Amino acid sequence: MSSPKKDQSFAGLTGKFAKNIYATPKGKLRLAVLERDLAPWYQRQAPLRVLDIGAGLGQFSENFALQGHKVTHTDIAADMVAAAQQQHEARGLAAQYQYHTASLQELPKILGEQQYDVVLCHAVLEWLAEPQLALPILKQFMAKDGLLSLMFYNRDAKIMANMVFGNFDYVAADLQVKKRVRMSPQQPIAPAEMAIWLRRQQLAVTSKTGVRCFHDYLRKPADALEHFEQLVELEMRYNQTEPFAALGRYQHWQIQHGN
């Protein structure tokens, strides 16, 4: 009998996380897409209250801090939070932040009934044992006219990529392996399933973007580094247009309260 799934943390992996994600073309591409998508929010003049859940090293929220918005930075891994705070201090941004070491499920006890103009939850749900249970928590932190910026690992794209690379047995086994890879998300989410979860919470998707629509299908991965600027330009051109958006390894959905 397999052991039950548990929420996963990157505690103790701060250096590896920074190197394997944000120092690579795929990480830089992710940040570029988020910056483009959310520019209308972080460029607002009126100060916003921002909650960044599972914020890791806090690179993306710096866009809000640089514009004078107040950011509450949370992560389950204490070393991640400490590294993020050190980075923000080095960049003169720490005064814009509050920091909490806590899981997503613990945040209602810590933050109480506070609500935020922008809730960021990027690449978090796929690391949870029961990702659908996170949505009511995310919703309770959203102000009436607020935004939930949700980025999740796309199960459909994972199937597509593995078929392209000939991993037929893995796909036939429903993406299950005996030995879990710690840096590989345990719960990829099908967009159709996510749409159902959001409707149940009376949350409306206002914008959809694919992230890494082309990057993960390159026959020569070195092309991502050698032709990075061109890759970014083409991803930006097509990543909000079907069928390309649906192929993104991640989905970035902007979500607000429904009627």
Beta-bridge partner residues of 101:
75
Q: What is the pLDDT of residues 234-248, one digit of tens each?
A: 999 999 999 999 999
> pLDDT for 183-237, tens place per residue?
678 789 999 999 999 999 999 999 999 999 999 999 898 999 999 999 999 999 9
- Of 35-39, 124-128, 168-172, least confident by mean pLDDT is 168-172
167 by Cβ neighbours in 10 Å (0-12 / 13-18 / 19+) ranks as middle
Segment (H or E) for 100: strand 97-101
Do 221 and 180 meet the contact criterion of CB atoms below 8 Å apart? Answer: no
pLDDT of residue 175: 87
pTM reported for the whole predicted model: 0.92
Confidence at 1, pLDDT banded by 50, 70, 90? very low
pLDDT value, residue 2? 47
Q: If you search the block for the tokens 């459909």, which residue do you land on?
A: 156
Q: How many helices (H) and strands (E) does the chain have?
A: 11, 7
